[in-house]
Amino acid sequence: MWKRTFRLLSLNDPGWGRNNSGGNDPRSQRPGDGPPDLDELWRDFNRKLNGLFGRGGRTGGSGGGPTARGAGIGIGLIALVALLLWLGSGFYIVQEGQAAAVLRFGEFKYMTDRAGFKWRMPYPIESHETVNVQQLKQVEIGYRNNVRNKEKNESLMLTSDQSIVDLQFAVQFRIADPVAWLFNNNLGREPEALVRQAAETAMRQVVGRSQIDQVLYEEKEQVAKAALKLTQDLVDRYRAGINVVDVTIQQAQPPEQVQAAFEDANKAAQDRERLINEGRAYANDVIPRARGAAARLQQEADGYRERVVATAQGDADRFKAVAAEYAKAPAVTRDRLYVDTMQQVLSNVSKVLVDSRGSGNLLYLPLDRLLQGAAATGGQAASRNEGAPATPPAIAGANGERAIPEAEAVRRPGLTRDR
């Protein structure tokens, strides 16, 4: 029976659609003459089915009706084809990065996460739900597709200082647990609505605890991180099987109605910060220098004190030594003190004392020029070696041309060698 059935419905028959069933025309029995006719193809199919179900047609004696045996064969063939098609409907493909949850009569049975060609019991016994577990999904809050397409009911939020901020942000997430994603919540037609509502709730809570300057400028990243953590806590509470990857603030600004006034206030705040920074910079420049000058003066005063004290102590020690020597030899000590004193006094004057009681004939020397040259040489030497004692000048006269009277001699009143 099966061989006859396969022979009748074989697709390899070259006579399909070429009217090979009757006639003595040899051209009608050459199937390669041209393409088959669709009408003849349909008629050939009907004739083969009639022959399969036992309809005699032109040869039968029962008026062309089907026999019981042929009808049984046809019904069995149709049932077999239907069974094969039904069993074939259980095949499905799992792509790379996907997971399939198999349900039996609506109840979850097992999860398939390996990519390939899979089979399950056909519907309505079993069915499957495919979930992409590697795709990074994104939902927008406060806008759709572009920040210019704002959703006012989502973007306007109230801060802790009673200010309104227009905030648009995006949330990226992956499905970590397909079973929890599919069966723990009724996601409806828009599965991402759960993530959008949780992220909006978390962001409103974070913004409500912050000031507007923190949201707009100072702590924008910290606000996004806090919203990420709080969103993850909310979806974990719902057992949604979601892993929140990132929360990105796309745009944060004051409402359009007060944006100009807010920019003016922001510029004033920036000017205030600039002036404060300039004052701090000036203070950081002046205060160290003043402290350095004060420390230098303190060190100079300490040095002067040490020098004066040491000088006084040295003079006192020297006076004690001289007093001890004077007690031993008063005359010698007195002459020595006189000579030292006269050397100190006369070394600082430009006069030269000569003995007028001796011979008045002296050789003339250009002492004024010598003194000028000595003064110039002494100034250069003093610039090179400061603190060296100056050389006392000498003046002489000759033949009365330059007489130095005795009244011009520098004397200390009442000071003699005897005293």
- Please determine, for residue 242, whether its predicted confidence score (pLDDT) is greater than 80: yes
What is the residue type of 3? K
pLDDT computed for residue 279 by the predictor: 93
The H or E element containing residue 303 is helix 259-328
What's the rounded mean pLDDT across residues 372-380?
74
pTM of the model: 0.49
Burial group, residue 4, by CB count within 10 angstroms (0-12, 13-18, 19+): exposed
Tell me which CATH code domain 137-254 carries. 3.30.479.30
pLDDT above 70 covers a percentage of the chain that reads 68
Give the model confidence (pLDDT) of 26-45 as tens digits. Answer: 444 454 455 666 667 667 76
What pLDDT, on the 0 to 100 scale, is given for residue 254?
A: 84
pLDDT of 232 higher than 70 = yes
Q: What pLDDT, in 10s, does the model give residues 87-116? A: 888 888 887 777 888 888 877 787 887 877
Higher confidence at residue 19 or residue 261?
261
Confidence of residue 71 (pLDDT cuts 50, 70, 90): low
CA distances from 179 to 111, 143, 182, 199, 318 (A): 8, 30, 5, 22, 107
31: CB partners within 8 A, 6+ apart: 14, 15, 18, 20
Q: What is the pLDDT of the chain when averaged over all its residues?
A: 76
Statement: residue 237 has pLDDT above 60: yes
Residues 6+ apart with CB under 8 A from 105: 124, 125, 126
Q: How confident is the model at residue 171 (pLDDT cuts 50, 70, 90)?
A: very high
Confidence of residue 70 (pLDDT cuts 50, 70, 90): low
Q: What is the pLDDT of residues 312-325, one digit of tens each?
A: 999 999 889 888 88
Provide the 3-class DSSP secondary structure of residue 246.
strand
pLDDT the model gives residue 37: 65
User: 74 in helix, strand or coil?
Assistant: helix
- Nearest-angstrom CA–CA distance, 43 and 46: 5
User: Residue 293 has what pLDDT?
Assistant: 93
Which of left, alpha, beta for 23 (phi over 0: left; psi -120 to 50: alpha)?
A: left
Would you place residue 211 in the very low, low, confident or very high pLDDT band (cuts 50, 70, 90)?
Answer: confident
The span from the CA of 300 to the CA of 382, in Å, is 24
Domains in the chain: boundaries: 2-88, 91-132, 137-254, 334-408
Is the pLDDT reported for residue 152 higher than 50? Answer: yes
Q: Where does the pLDDT of residue 5 fall: very low under 50, low under 70, confident under 90, or very high at 90 and above? A: low
Contact (CB, 8 A) for 173 and 179: no
Residue 59 has pLDDT above 80, yes or no: no
- pLDDT at residue 306 greater than cutoff 90: yes
Mean pLDDT value across residues 276-286: 93
The Cα–Cα gap between 242 and 12 comes to 55
